Amino acid sequence: QEVESTREKYNAAINDINGYNAKYIEDMSEVYKKCQEFEQKRIEFFKKTLFQLHACLDLSVEPKFSQIYTSLHSTINNLDYSKDLKWWSCSYGVDMPMNWPEYEEYSPELQSISKRGKSNLNTGDGGIVFTGIKHSREDSMGSYTNDSSTGQNQ
């Protein structure tokens, strides 16, 4: 009996819902129609915009661009990789002229060419003047080795 009561309530709910089917179909048809109209306008806008862009980019209708196109085509056609590679080799590669160092006799004029200017550290006696002493770790610790064959320290 409870099952029968539940079944009747269930069928009543289904019948009630089915009563809204016509309204649902009508509303959904209206929404679908609006979406279709919007999509049509969107596609027409894109189509119009793309045709305008195409017209702006279409250089074939301008006579001055015809000469540029022809010039570009002939420039590309005249490219020769062997000439280009040869030029590069002669300018920057193995075939470029070398400037090897050569022996030159000493001349007093070359003395003025130096990294440092003339020094004021003149001893007068032709000796050497130390301007700085740099110690390495090995120098400061000394050279202490143990000769195992003789048992002596060096």
d(CA 74, CA 84): 16
pLDDT at 72: 78
pLDDT at 45: 92
Q: What is the pTM of this model?
A: 0.37
Q: What is the pLDDT along the chain (154 residues), one digit of tens a residue?
A: 888 999 999 999 999 989 888 898 899 899 999 989 899 989 889 899 988 888 887 777 777 777 877 887 888 888 787 888 888 888 887 788 877 666 666 677 766 666 555 555 555 556 666 666 666 655 444 444 444 444 444 4
Q: What's the half-sphere exposure (Cβ side, CA atoms, 13 Å) at 45?
A: 6
pLDDT at 70: 81
pLDDT at 6: 92
Q: Is residue 146 classed as helix, strand or coil in its secondary structure?
A: strand
Who contacts 153 (Cβ-Cβ below 8 Å, separation ≥6)? 144, 145, 146, 147
The secondary element (H helix, E strand) that includes residue 114 is none
